[in-house]
Amino acid sequence: MIRIRAFRAMDEIESCMKFVEGHMKILKVFDIAMITSANVEWFNDPNTYVIAAESTETGKMLGGARVQIAGGKYPLPIEKAVTEIDDRIHETVKNYAIEGTGELCGLWNSREIAGLGIGSVYLTRTAVCIAPQLKLKTLFALCAPYTVEMGEKAGFRVTTFLGNNGTFYYPKQDLVATGMLLSNCYTLETASVEEKYEILSIRNNLKQMIVAEGRRGPFELYFDLEIKNCP
Q: What pLDDT score was predicted for residue 111?
A: 75
CB 127 within 8 A of CB 139: yes
- Whether residue 69 contacts residue 231, with contact meaning beta carbons closer than 8 Å, is answered with yes
pLDDT of residue 24: 84
Instruction: Give the model's pLDDT for residue 137.
Output: 98
Cβ–Cβ under 8 Å, residues 206 and 200: no
The domains located in the chain, with CATH, are: 2-224 (3.40.630.30)
State the pLDDT at residue 116: 61
CA distance 127 to 205: 15
Alpha-carbon distance of 2 to 166, in angstroms, equals 34
Closest Cα to residue 54, out of 229, 227, 203, 222? 222
Phi first, then psi: what are they for 205, rounded to 5°?
Answer: -150, 85
- Give Cβ neighbours of residue 66 (< 8 Å, ≥ 6 apart): 9, 19, 42, 48, 49, 50, 51, 104, 105, 106
CA distance 147 to 119: 9
- Residues 154, 147 contacting (CB under 8 angstroms): no
Q: Residue 36: its pLDDT value, please?
A: 44
The answer to whether 220 and 209 have CB atoms below 8 angstroms apart is yes
pLDDT of the residue at 168: 82
CA gap 106, 44 in Å, rounded: 16
Q: What is the pLDDT of residue 38?
A: 43
Classify residue 90 as exposed, middle or buried by CB count within 10 Å of its CB (0-12, 13-18, 19+): middle
The vertex-39 CA angle with 20 and 172, nearest 5°, equals 95
Q: Please report the pLDDT score of residue 30 as a whole number.
A: 58
Q: Say which residues have a Cβ less than 8 Å from residue 5's Cβ, sequence separation at least 6.
A: 51, 52, 54, 223, 224, 225
CA 75-79-80 angle, to 5 degrees, is 85
Report mean pLDDT in 10-residue bins for the chain, 231 residues: 95 94 76 54 94 92 95 92 89 97 92 69 95 98 90 96 85 80 98 97 96 80 95 87
pTM exceeds cut of 0.75: yes
